[in-house]
């Protein structure tokens, strides 16, 4: 089931809709998420950092699919803004207002690594497709790429370990959103408050294209074919820029921008691309979520979230089993289906316990129902065994036994001879000599 999830920056619910029918599903209570703060962890549950924080600390809440109340709440040293999870939902990263990036292991909640990534607050985080590279955008306008493999490498020096792989520095103001293209060498598209979207090449580490928009862009989405870039502006328009073409004509909106559509009365705050079909989903400050047909730019559906602004939209493929626990085992597990909350203190890498990698996370509990019957095979085997008696191997065995027999006979002869000799000797001793203490008591 394809589900659209939306959250707001003011304290309200996380709303979910079935994408195909538009029917509203369970609402998850009390969440005020910052931009990019809502994340679905491996489609198993929802996590969101929180804007309302007690004193100076921040917090991250979890919601299980089946329960409207947040299940686990963790408090952190500083407010966490963006969150991201890798594809399988085994690691969660969060960006702090101080520019620190935190990396937690989901199954144990342990804070495995934290490092100073930026000079100012981290504004968005993305995992690469394969989960080994992390991209972070910051309010200082810089985008950095981190190789998580080296970050976990204990043998590297502190400096090398937390050194970034790449850095893109051409934005002059805060980075507001970032999307990654497809593949092992993705393009990185970033939006910034400096009214530009920039397209970067990962492998070359350079700027490929700069698109200047008439307004500040807060949200971007790319179509899966990477032809088009949709950029949601603060002026309430969604601009369509061409990625794939040559030098484009300057339309009335600007270079590379080929279209613009709008039905938002207020600023567009987030964009997402549907999983099935070509649908663009946009969230606005007016509290509405709109689903657009990306081909025709027509609104297909309007979903009302709340009065407050919508600032996060996720599109998730929800497993049916999440709502209907099917087996006894999973229902037992379901009660505490959420992993422990994210820890605040850095996990000291005492190797005694190690990282807590878990087997069976993906729930591959598909019982091998195709029973294998064996009697007939065993029977065939035994029949073959029966037939082989008297075959070549037996012949060889007979030959071997014959030889053995011969050898044994020779041995017997030898022993016999020795016995006779000994016997003779003893008899001679007894007859001839005195009563010598003959030691061979076994002679008759």
- Footprint of another protein on 296-355 (CB under 8 A): 296-297, 329, 333, 351-355
Nearest Cα neighbor of 125 from 49, 223, 45 is 49
- Is 359 a binder of another protein (CB under 8 A)? yes
Nearest Cα neighbor of 237 from 211, 210, 214 is 214
**Cβ closest to another protein, residue 23 vs residue 372:** 372
**Cβ closest to another protein, residue 201 vs residue 306:** 201
Residues 133-172 that bind another protein (CB under 8 A): 133, 147-150, 152-156
**Cβ closest to another protein, residue 227 vs residue 428:** 227
Among 55, 375, 391, 442, binds another protein (CB under 8 A): 375
CA dist., res. 123 & res. 198, Å (int): 16
- Is 380 a binder of another protein (CB under 8 A)? yes
CA dist., res. 141 & res. 119, Å (int): 10
Query: How do strand 279-284 and strand 268-273 relate by DSSP bridges?
Result: antiparallel
Structure tokens, 266 = 């207020």
Residues 182-241 that bind another protein (CB under 8 A): 184-185, 187, 199, 201-204, 206, 208-211, 223, 225-228, 240
Binding mask 5-44 for another protein (x = CB under 8 A): ----------------------------------------
Least distance to another protein from the beta carbon of 166, Å?
A: 9
Q: Which of these segments, 76-84, 254-262, 391-399, 413-421, binds another protein (CB under 8 A)? A: 254-262
Query: How do strand 166-168 and strand 2-8 relate by DSSP bridges?
Result: unpaired
- Is 173 a binder of another protein (CB under 8 A)? no
Among 30, 66, 132, 262, binds another protein (CB under 8 A): 132
Torsion of CA 399, 404, 410, 413, to 10 degrees: -120
**Cβ closest to another protein, residue 324 vs residue 378:** 378
Q: What are the C-alpha distances in Å from 435 to residues 69, 146, 191, 422, 428?
A: 108, 101, 119, 17, 11
Among 112, 179, 191, 221, binds another protein (CB under 8 A): 112
Least distance to another protein from the beta carbon of 403, Å?
A: 26
DSSP letter string over 150-211?
A: HHT-TTS-HHHHT--SEEE---SS-EEEEEE-SSSS-EEEEEETTSEEEEEETTT-SEEEEE
| 190 phi and psi angles, rounded to 5 deg | -125, 150
- Is 121 a binder of another protein (CB under 8 A)? no
- Is 394 a binder of another protein (CB under 8 A)? no
382-386: long-range contacts, CB 8 A cutoff, minimum separation 24: none
**Cβ closest to another protein, residue 156 vs residue 413:** 156
**Cβ closest to another protein, residue 28 vs residue 253:** 253
In which residue are the tokens 């705050």 written? 269
Least distance to another protein from the beta carbon of 348, Å?
A: 14
Least distance to another protein from the beta carbon of 98, Å?
A: 24
CA dist., res. 168 & res. 187, Å (int): 12
CA dist., res. 270 & res. 267, Å (int): 9
**Cβ closest to another protein, residue 124 vs residue 260:** 260
Among 54, 55, 158, 368, binds another protein (CB under 8 A): 368
Q: Which of these segments, 46-54, 85-93, 301-309, 418-426, binds another protein (CB under 8 A)? A: 85-93
Q: How many Cβ atoms from other residues are within 10 Å of residue 276's Cβ?
A: 10
Please tell me the count of residues contacting another protein according to CB under 8 A: 96
Least distance to another protein from the beta carbon of 353, Å?
A: 7
Among 302, 346, 358, 411, binds another protein (CB under 8 A): 358
- Is 444 a binder of another protein (CB under 8 A)? no
- Is 391 a binder of another protein (CB under 8 A)? no
Q: Map residue 28 onto helix, strand or coil.
A: strand
Nearest Cα neighbor of 106 from 344, 442, 343, 427 is 343
- Is 275 a binder of another protein (CB under 8 A)? no
Gyration radius from the chain CA atoms: 37
- Is 242 a binder of another protein (CB under 8 A)? yes
Nearest Cα neighbor of 42 from 317, 280, 270 is 317
- Is 86 a binder of another protein (CB under 8 A)? yes
In which residue are the tokens 């993705």 written? 186
Among 302, 324, 346, 357, binds another protein (CB under 8 A): 357
Residues 41-80 that bind another protein (CB under 8 A): none
Among 52, 73, 317, 356, binds another protein (CB under 8 A): 356
Nearest Cα neighbor of 218 from 294, 298, 310 is 310
């Amino acid at each position: 089931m394809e589900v659209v999830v939306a959250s707001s920056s003011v304290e309200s619910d996380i709303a979910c809709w079935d994408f195909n029918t538009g029917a509203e599903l369970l609402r998850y209570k009390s969440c005020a998420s910052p931009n990019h703060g809502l994340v679905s962890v491996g489609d198993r549950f929802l996590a969101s950092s929180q804007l309302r924080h007690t004193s100076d600390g921040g917090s991250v809440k979890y919601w299980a699919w089946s329960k409207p109340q947040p299940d686990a709440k963790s408090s952190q040293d500083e407010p966490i803004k963006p969150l991201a999870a890798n594809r399988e939902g085994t690691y969660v990263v969060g960006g702090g207002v101080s520019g620190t990036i935190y990396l937690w292991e989901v199954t144990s909640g342990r804070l495995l690594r934290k490092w100073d990534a930026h000079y100012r607050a981290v504004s968005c985080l993305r995992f690469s497709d394969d989960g080994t590279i992390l991209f972070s955008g910051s309010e200082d306008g810089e985008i950095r790429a981190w190789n998580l493999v080296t970050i976990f490498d204990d043998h590297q020096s502190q400096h090398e370990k937390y050194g970034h792989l790449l850095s893109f520095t051409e934005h002059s103001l805060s980075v507001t959103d970032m999307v990654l293209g497809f593949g092992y060498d993705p393009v990185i598209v970033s939006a910034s408050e400096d009214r530009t979207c920039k397209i970067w090449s990962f492998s070359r580490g350079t700027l490929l294209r700069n698109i200047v928009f008439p307004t500040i862009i807060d949200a971007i989405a790319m179509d899966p074919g990477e032809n088009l870039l949709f950029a949601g502006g603060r002026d309430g328009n969604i601009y369509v820029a061409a990625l794939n073409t040559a030098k484009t004509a300057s339309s009335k909106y600007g270079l590379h921008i080929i279209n613009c559509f709008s039905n938002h009365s207020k600023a567009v705050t987030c964009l997402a691309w549907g999983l099935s079909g070509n649908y663009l989903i946009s969230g606005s400050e007016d509290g509405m979520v709109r689903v657009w047909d990306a081909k025709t730019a027509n609104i297909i559906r309007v979903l009302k979230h709340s009065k407050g602004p919508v600032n996060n939209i996720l599109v998730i493929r929800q497993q049916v089993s999440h709502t209907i626990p099917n087996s006894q085992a999973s229902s037992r597990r379901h009660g505490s289906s959420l992993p422990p909350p994210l820890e605040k203190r850095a996990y000291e890498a005492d190797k005694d316990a190690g990282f807590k990698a878990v087997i069976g996370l993906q729930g591959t509990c598909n019982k091998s129902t195709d029973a294998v019957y064996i009697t007939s095979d065993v029977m065939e085997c035994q029949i073959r065994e029966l037939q082989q008696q008297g075959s070549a191997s037996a012949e060889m065995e007979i030959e071997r036994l014959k030889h053995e027999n011969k050898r044994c006979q020779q041995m017997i002869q030898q022993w016999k001879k020795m016995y006779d000799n000994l016997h003779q000797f003893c008899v001679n001793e007894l007859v001839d000599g005195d009563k010598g203490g003959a030691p061979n008591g076994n002679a008759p």
